[in-house]
Amino acid sequence: MDLAFECALFVVGLVFGSFLNVCISRIPRDQSVISPRSHCPACGAFLRWHDNVPFLSWLLLRRRCRDCGSRISLRYPTVELLTAVLFTACYVSFGPTLITAKFCIFCFLLVGLIFMDAESGLLPREFTYPGIVLGLALSWLAPTDSTGTQFFLRAYGAPLPTPVQLGLLDSAIAAVVGAGFFYLAWALYYLLRKRHGMGFGDIALMAMAGAFLGLKLTLFVIFSAPLAGVVYAAVLFARCSRNTPAMGEGLDGQARSSARESFFMQELPFGVFLGTCSLAAVFFGESIWRWYLSFF
């Protein structure tokens, strides 16, 4: 039965991943996800039903459009396979429970937001705002580990609510803490630099993550996502510094300084790191917390 459920969820994940590709392509451009039906972005030809089977059609078509021969982006099978794998991983990790359904929804939203931010630099409210509401609502039906909120309630001598109420409270506090932390970071950066250091979509994404994950795992995302962004930026900077002399030997100090300044003015899709670390929190957050607390 477990294998049957895993296979079924894998297929369902492929289907949802196929729909995610439509959302990723259209929502940032303010286009309908319903009409027109799926078509080739290069020539506009509508896809036949047998050319629209998730992942399988991409293989059978040898990664090219049947009508114009244009190469089909690798993003399409990647999103479909990633969504299928995440859905299956949720079942393997949490079993036939409401927690599995809750985190499948969360993974669906995160995959869409990660790829939309990577491609367009946008985190549409069509995903983040309903995600916040769903996270809060599902905390009633499938509460996560609320030990973070319990710790603070006991520290202040407050009475513990019922498990259902505690789940909702933990979800709401996590959403506020997650969004509030990055809103404060945005405000401080804006006061110092007079420019936006991140978008409000990142703040909404963090509120959504908090609503689904609860306080303890949200704290993991708050600290791990900026660290991942810094590591990624450091790698890019090292590559840029190594390639600059080869691009133009004899650059004077002013030119090199200008190149470095241009690098630091680039915008990183921070939502990619928030989303990726949120996915990591779902499957590895508890283990990482236990490993961290073992030092105390």
Predicted pLDDT of residue 205:
97
**Over the stretch 276-287, which tens digit does the pLDDT of each residue have?**
999 999 999 999
Q: Which residue, 172, 110, 109, 108, is CA-closest to 140?
A: 172
Predicted pLDDT of residue 242:
72
Quote helix, strand, coil % in the chain, to nearest 5.
Answer: 75, 0, 25
Predicted pLDDT of residue 194:
80
Length of the chain counted residue by residue: 296
How far apart, in Å, are the Cα atoms of 217 and each of 150, 195, 262, 286?
14, 30, 35, 7
Residue 227 burial (C-beta neighbours within 10 Å; 0-12, 13-18, 19+): exposed
Predicted pLDDT of residue 264:
56
**Over the stretch 23-52, which tens digit does the pLDDT of each residue have?**
999 999 999 999 888 888 888 888 888 888
Predicted pLDDT of residue 94:
94
Predicted pLDDT of residue 144:
86
DSSP assignment string, 163-228: HHHHHHHHHHHHHHHHHHHHHHHHHHHHHHHSS-SS-HHHHHHHHHHHHHH-HHHHHHHHHHHHHH
- Enumerate residue ranges in the chain where pLDDT < 50: 246-249
Residue 193, both tokens = 């630099």
Note the Cα 63 to chain centre separation in Å.
26
Are 281 and 217 spatial neighbours (Cβ–Cβ below 8 Å)? yes
Predicted pLDDT of residue 247:
45
Residue showing tokens 């420019």: 195
Residue 178, both tokens = 């997650």
